[in-house]
Amino acid sequence: MVHPRQEPTFLPLTVGVARSAAGEQDDPERRRLADAVCRRAEEAESAATGCWAALLGGCESAERRGLPARLRALAEATTGYVGEPWWFGHGSVHRRRVAEAQLRINDAVREGDGAEFAEAFVGYDQAIATAVVSVRSKLESPTP
């Protein structure tokens, strides 16, 4: 059995900022949206860990087949949290980075490429987390 501190993590930034965002929301709707990002990030993290094990073992698994849907669900929850106007406007650079990393992850899973999988997750994690933090910062800063 793998010791919990030795398990790989694929979305440490995203899970951390999502938990923080959920805990800091005063507005019930914003809290609900942040909670959704947090849940989806944790689900994607779990699927990525299972997928990683399958990739290392060279086998199929439910996580390997289900990871693309988990990543899409996380991106959709992020869209809900940051808001479509921002995600498709000022946040479009983050949206593109998420989409590109997601494609790289999907390709790595299909090809069984563990190195590419891990590298692509770094970009995916950073893009999602940066989007969440960017919107949190915007919401917290005073309007000029």
User: What is the CATH classification number for the domain harbouring 14?
Assistant: 1.20.120
Residue 22: how many other CB atoms lie within 10 Å:
19
CA distance 125 to 130: 8
Confidence of residue 1 (pLDDT cuts 50, 70, 90): very low
**pLDDT tens per residue across span 73-112:** 999 999 999 999 999 999 999 999 999 999 999 999 999 9
Whether residue 35 lies inside any domain: the answer is yes
Whether residue 39 lies inside any domain: the answer is yes
Whether residue 3 lies inside any domain: the answer is no
Are residues 96 and 87 in contact, defined by beta-carbon separation less than 8 angstroms?
no
How many structural domains compose the chain?
1
User: How far is the first Cα of the chain from the last one, in angstroms, to the nearest whole number?
Assistant: 54
Whether residue 108 lies inside any domain: the answer is yes
CA distance 22 to 120: 26
For 104, the domain range is 10-137
Whether residue 104 lies inside any domain: the answer is yes
**pLDDT tens per residue across span 23-70:** 998 999 999 999 999 999 999 999 999 999 999 999 999 999 999 999
